[in-house]
Amino acid sequence: MTIKAVLFDFSGTLFRIESTESWLRATTTEAGLALPEAELIQSAERLESAGALAGGAAPTAPLPDDLAALWAVRDRSAEAHRAAYTGLSRQVPLPDPRLHDALYDRHMTPAAWRPYPDTAEVLGALRARGVAVGVVSNIGWDLRPIFREHGVAPYVDAYVLSYEHEIQKPDTRLFALACDALGVAPQHTLMVGDDRRADGGAADLGCAVHFVDHRPVAERPDGLRPVLDLIG
């Protein structure tokens, strides 16, 4: 099978969100709040357990019924995404209630994300080989500025974002939209992601699928390079 296009997931595949502690520290600093170090670390740990950082760890405890229902459809709209994650954040008391929305706003900024060390290299190599590249993400906001700020937007031919279509992976319709946008049949398309359930849905459409580990940036220096071997 000849691969003519590669679809990539965003979070945990091409980019990684900052740590929960860094997220909280940057947000409180921007708000002009100085939390005692022990309180900041404890609050960061509680926010992580709550799953309040989009792109970070999932909630570790059962959710209240209202939040559980919202969590299931969080990537279908910008409103649901914000409500779900600020709802999780509000499970953790913070010194200023406005911090919950400020934390959500912080996670959408380029400063909160880092590309994996081989992201630019692999995307650039695919472009050089004439392979089309798409980004297919379950997300509630526009990630294009992240790609532009980190210098890799020129390598991406199409973005298919769940909230813009009200469809979440693993629904095959989202992958089909990406294949159509690139003008490549699913049988000639490779999907690369870190979530075996969500990203694995591409296989039901007929795409090849390759998984990477969702790990901190420093711990995964070359996780994307095998994609180039799969292209041939």
* Same domain (yes/no): 79, 182: no
Q: What is the pLDDT of residue 36?
A: 95
Q: What is the pLDDT of residue 143?
A: 98
Q: What is the pLDDT of residue 61?
A: 87
Q: What is the pLDDT of residue 146?
A: 98
Q: Which of 50, 82, 111 is the last residue of a domain?
A: 111
Q: What is the pLDDT of residue 48?
A: 97
Q: Which of 85, 111, 137 is the last residue of a domain?
A: 111
* Same domain (yes/no): 117, 101: no
* Same domain (yes/no): 54, 32: yes
* Same domain (yes/no): 130, 155: yes
The whole-angstrom separation of Cα 153 and Cα 26 is: 25
* Same domain (yes/no): 189, 160: yes
* Same domain (yes/no): 133, 106: no
From the list 19, 46, 29, the residue with the least C-alpha distance to 99 is 29
From the list 21, 59, 22, the residue with the least C-alpha distance to 41 is 21
For tokens 């199409």, name the residue. Answer: 158
Token representation of residue 131: 């392979």
* Same domain (yes/no): 200, 126: yes
**CA-based R_g, the chain, Å:** 18
Q: What is the pLDDT of residue 232?
A: 72
pTM above 0.85, yes or no: yes
Q: Kindly report the CATH number assigned to the domain that includes residue 190.
A: 3.40.50.1000
For tokens 């502690």, name the residue. Answer: 21
149-176: burial string, b at 16+ Cβ within 10 Å, e else: ebebeebbbbbbbbbbeebbbbbbebbb
For tokens 């041939």, name the residue. Answer: 232
Q: How many domains does the chain have?
A: 2
Q: Which of 86, 111, 136 is the last residue of a domain?
A: 111
Give pLDDT tens digits along the chain (232 positions): 799 999 999 999 999 999 999 999 999 999 999 899 999 999 999 999 999 999 999 999 899 999 999 999 999 999 999 999 999 999 999 999 999 999 999 999 999 999 999 999 999 999 999 999 999 999 999 999 999 999 999 999 999 999 999 999 999 999 999 999 999 999 999 999 999 999 999 999 999 999 999 999 999 999 999 999 999 7
Domain that holds residue 28: 18-111
Q: What is the pLDDT of residue 90?
A: 97
* Same domain (yes/no): 158, 205: yes
* Same domain (yes/no): 156, 82: no
